[in-house]
Amino acid sequence: MEFSYADVCAAREIVRRYLPPTPMWSYPVLDRLAGATVLVKHENTQPVGAFKVRGGLTLLASLPDPERGTVTYSTGNHAQSMAYASRIFGAPCTVVMPAAANPAKAAAVEAWGAEVVLTGDDLAAAEEYAGKLAEETGARLVSPGDTAELLAGVGTLYQEILEARPDLDAIVVPIGSGSGAAAATVVARELAPGCRIIGVQSAASPAAHDSWRDGTLVSRPNRTRVDGLATGRAFAGPQRHLRDLADFVLVTDDQIAEAQRVLARDAHTLAEGAGAAPLAAVLADRERFAGRAIAIVCTGGNASSGEIAALAA
């Protein structure tokens, strides 16, 4: 699976027909706390509450026969993205989720018009079932990580960032499957070669990080509480582009939870755990970012009721 900056530019023509650019704002209290100029890219304002909707729209627009429908697997934001885009294009969509998936997230996917199938103990089991279902029905099987159209669509958010601020020193990106960070490296290489792309993942689910570090695809225990970062294996497509990361760091789930509280207090922003991970990385290493101009991508705002309750802790 390969994609290029030209694919991102083509995706922008699709995405802009359905979505306005999301805001990117700075907050003086947050800047003071971080010791840096911190720009928050608010993908939490998307209609499904997360950045992945850009990829879903790009994929559905590219299908030669959308009436065949799609089958995918996900625990959250990718599922909503596919459901939303399928509704826009009038295409059938089935999302396979683990049996213990968050009921609120499953309900949100169904509300956009997709069929939800709950099965298996984890995402790996859901992936296996989705593959069988696609074979039986003839629907397009969509991998949340290894699908070029999704990466191209996600790349449009980094175009928005770097066209507005090509002088940025760094962009900090959360990594689950790695689609967002992979797209960021492609866009930065074209628009702002001096901008460092730094990935961040939960230390409790480090498959993508360890694959990047070791130079080979690995699986790891998937123990994070952060749904958007809960992947137990690396994806080959994004990993090819993650080689261009300036760095890839790990933070704890507790650091992510604290960053969620900081965003709520100082940036008036409801962030799900994955959306707060970039700030967690910045606050964990203030010296590294001191005096720099950086963007952190709040990839989503679909916080669970438990996460919302914890904001007052």
| Contact between residue 77 and residue 83 where contact means Cβ atoms under 8 Å apart | no
Which value, to the nearest 10 degrees, does the dihedral of the CA atoms of residues 67, 14, 79, 64 take? Answer: 20
- pLDDT recorded at residue 1: 64
Instruction: Give pLDDT, residue 272.
Output: 95
Whether 234 and 148 have beta carbons less than 8 Å apart is answered as no
Kindly report the backbone phi and psi dihedral angles of residue 206, in degrees, each rounded to the nearest multiple of 5, phi listed first. Answer: -95, 25
Element containing residue 39 per DSSP (H, E)? strand 37-42
Output the pLDDT for position 103: 87
Beta-carbon-side half-sphere exposure of residue 193 (alpha carbons within 13 Å): 1
Return the half-sphere exposure (C-beta side, CA atoms, 13 A cut-off) of residue 189: 17
DSSP 143: -
Are the C-beta atoms of 154 and 179 separated by less than 8 Å?
Answer: yes
Q: For the full predicted model, state whether its pTM sits above 0.85.
A: yes
Q: What is the mean pLDDT of each run of 10 residues along the chain (313 residues)?
A: 90 97 97 98 97 97 94 92 97 95 89 96 91 95 94 97 98 95 97 98 97 96 91 92 96 98 96 97 97 97 90 79
- State the distance between the two ends of the chain, measured CA to CA, in whole angstroms: 44
Q: Nearest-5° angle of CA 194, CA 211, CA 287?
A: 45
Q: What pLDDT was estimated at residue 132?
A: 96
Cα 33 from Cα 112, distance rounded (Å): 39
